Amino acid sequence: MFCPECGSTDKEMVGDICIDCFLKEFQMIELPRRIEVQICSHCNSKLEEGKWSDEFLPEDEIIYRALERNIKIADEVSNEAINLEIDQIKGTIANCYVEVVGEVHGVEIEETHDTEVKILKTVCPTCSKMQSGYYETVVQFRADTREIKAEEYAQADEIVERTLNKQSKRDKLAYCPQIAKLKEGYDYYIGSFKSGKKVAENLAEEFGGIIKESPRLISEDKSTGKGLYRIWISVRIPEFEINDFIRYEDKIMQVKSISKSSLVGVDIITDKAHNIPMKNMENIELVKKESEIETAMIISKSPSTIQILDPSDYSTVDLEMKDEFKDKNAGEEINLIKINNYIYLLN
């Protein structure tokens, strides 16, 4: 066939022209002369195709990926090998070149393209929220009809910090911009709902209690018309604590452990352990605090009874002997708790 551009009649034809004339104008790749990349100046995340990537990358890797993303390879190219190089970086502009070796219709050719990548420093939406003190959830740490102790507040602070540190590996809004220290308890303001919920679960796991969520409408998204909500999560820990004495289903028990789902109480008469669901907390009555445990002196004992001196009026009281007290001797002290004027000996 006849090539209309060079007149050749003995060369391979590509379309209406010969291979040589085709390759003179052919470009294996298309690459913009200038590429712009938006990078968050706080967390180094980058904007790609309208979405922010949370993946942390060094600046040179961001530049290489921007080059790769903007290279378009022609369909006729096969067995291509692409080499990316950063020539120099001046301020926010990186001067780069791209070398390409490939085959086009059986002919190996090489191309070099120059371009520049400009880094545009900005602030991603997440970091913007963090700077403004944005929060989605308030975790309210409260106690049921008692004051929270200083050591409990310190423990709660540690749980919140530990939880958020762990959550921050997968949630950038796992942070606490504010703690409101109120008379009735602490309010922890948490950046994201999912991390706030995890904080509440870990507080309940440590202290026990009831978790309740309460969404509140704060505004409306003008673009969608949907309501914007914040979630208040209440963690209400029990009035009783470990080693306190409670009444549940006509049994007097000493609390031995507390979790978010249940507590274990030991019947002070039978020494039998009972697992009580925490959802029944409203049916649990605190009858005595651990601090109200008293000591009494043993006056005498027999195989069936043990006689003590009542610490309130120093009268003698005969109580049923239990196996765990058989090694006790007269003159020794023994722990007891008095509930409704009845004395219970404690092991």
pLDDT the model gives residue 19: 85
Distance CA(294)–CA(290), nearest Å, equals 9
109 beta partners:
102
Q: At what angle do helices 193-207 and 150-167 cross, to 10 degrees?
A: 140
pTM over 0.85: no
- Residue pair 156/150 in contact (Cβ under 8 Å)? The answer is no
Burial degree of 320 (CB within 10 A; 0-12, 13-18, 19+)? exposed
Question: How would you classify residue 211: left for phi > 0, otherwise alpha for psi between -120 and 50, otherwise beta?
Answer: beta
305 beta partners:
320
Distance CA(97)–CA(114), nearest Å, equals 4
Question: How far is residue 93 CA from its own chain's centroid?
Answer: 37
Distance CA(1)–CA(3), nearest Å, equals 7
pLDDT the model gives residue 221: 61
pLDDT the model gives residue 223: 59
**Cβ count near 188 (within 10 Å):** 28
> DSSP secondary structure string, 111-147?
EEEEEEEEEEEE--HHHHHHHTT--SEEEEEEESSSP
Token pair listed for 235: 């963690």
Q: Which helix (H) or strand (E) holds 41?
A: none
Per run of 10 residues, the mean pLDDT along the chain (length 347 residues) is 78 84 89 91 77 76 89 92 91 92 90 92 85 91 91 96 93 92 95 95 90 82 69 93 93 92 92 91 92 92 89 88 86 91 88
Distance CA(99)–CA(29), nearest Å, equals 10
pLDDT the model gives residue 137: 95
